Structure 1
């Protein structure tokens, strides 16, 4: 157990050294905007989502406005984010439920958030972490991949990974470490061609130790 604790401590220290300040790259001014932006970010870059939400929120700035929007108009605005048919239906329905069942305010609770159309645990945890400062671990494809390669989990299900990480990581780092893993996954630990040769974990990462030529 002590060995695992030391291993985890080293990971935390190195991530903090390389990514001392982490923030979501999705532009927003309130929980509602971040919620909708996160739904739109599925299979889309943050940069593209930011371009789209600038237009979307200028026209539909709150749950009431988006809930009453014409579905085809929403589709036209968010077309470039991909999967626009489902996304348009989800964000309109999500806004409608927030307006009708939560008095126009994005709820804080995980169960309430995941009851909203298009909102899974990842999206809910992004909002809870960033907007409400509730300790959560956001598990997206980068976090899942990095956690498995570092040997922190063997699970392939994002919810299982979330809870396993919660068991081994101190709560004080939960909100940052998800974003740190995302930064790291985007910059170094790529899905297809990870840059193990310049990775600051390559002396202890099980994946890198088998992937490097001189391992």
Structure 2
């Protein structure tokens, strides 16, 4: 069995990726199992730069294959923002009562404020995910996919995390946070990026020196 370390401490992301990887017979560990690894900076200019840097950092530190993703929301009416800054889009002072909010709630409140008055047909957006795998010998594998949608006028749903309550899936008639987890995984940018990554998995494992 191949051991994978997911290069994140985000509990929602760990749970989601663990479900996606279960069919492939791998042992999945979160970064919380390796407290000696500090915060990994995400200061790249693209999702791919951030994902590769995180995966390589964790693979070198743990001696296991690491899988990292960098994902975010790109809103057309905001010229692609928040983009690579999605997770840290809002500061406490950016929205009323922000000091008492979670980071996700602040981000969503700032996004809604930025889009105030923008009609629904102009609220097009996409979730983008770049997923990277890295081995201790520094072999890498990268895949990137997007999930098209719109930004809702108000939050809806309790599933998911991040911007899911605001990401409207037009053909489903609901937000990402209102989809069942299995349906979200089938549609999502993260699920599609992982599917693309796994298409090259056997060759990657061979280059990484892992048994198949």
TM-score normalised by length of structure 2 = 0.28
TM-score normalised by length of structure 1 = 0.28
Select the structure that is richer in strand.
2
Select the structure that is richer in helix.
1
Q: Which one has a bigger Cα radius of gyration?
A: 1
